[in-house]
Amino acid sequence: MTEGLQGPAPEERPHPSGRRNAQGIRIDPETGAEHEPRRTVLSALVQNEPGVLAKISGLVSRRQFNIESLTVGTTTNPETSRVTLVIEEPEPGVRQVEKQLAKVVNVISVRELGDDAVRRELVVLKVHGEEPDKVHAVTRMYEGETLDAGPRTITVQITGDEQKIDDAIDAFRQFGIRELARTGQTALARGEEWTTHAEEERYERVHEP
């Protein structure tokens, strides 16, 4: 009769720490650690083809990413547009959004912008017009523009960074905001840094001697 291999008793054996996911697979405590959500901006250069925006918005909604705003507009190249996403996700979620966007056929290039990126948005808001002088004073204070003024309502626009827009909206609340439309952020990399590598490559091709 042969003896089995010697080893520690069951109660002496090390037990793996961590938890299991919904499929019963054990999660390593380090790789499965919780990450604090952070707010960031992703810029994607996309081909101007029908349905590309629907593909992108559908992708992020299906995966339930926390998208705060999504804007799209043309670039210097009439064949491409820039999609700017403001997201708030833990670090793994940010990387996952990048990877998923890069898989979309119409997406040429995507990258996360740094904290120093130039970011702007626009808000158009309509307030009650009983105090026009005060409304115009607040509009001037935030370097805004009056778009429409009547006996009952005044409509103004303000452009700037997110904090400026938030502050302006708070300032206009004293008059009673009837309606408000906010674009969401659009952004470019600061200084000589290119927002996407694809744009740099195209610029060099077009302007090469």
Is the pLDDT at 4 greater than 80, yes or no? no
Write the DSSP assignment of 17-83 as a string of letters. Answer: -SEE-TTSPEEPTTTT-----EEEEEEEEEE--TTHHHHHHHHHHHTT--EEEEEEEE-SSTTEEEE
Kindly state the percentage of the chain with pLDDT values over 70: 83
Q: pTM score > 0.85 for this model?
A: no
Q: CA-based diameter of the chain, in Å?
A: 104
> Please, are residues 82 and 45 in contact by the beta-carbon 8 Å criterion?
yes
Q: Per-residue pLDDT tens for 18-40?
A: 554 444 444 444 444 567 889 99
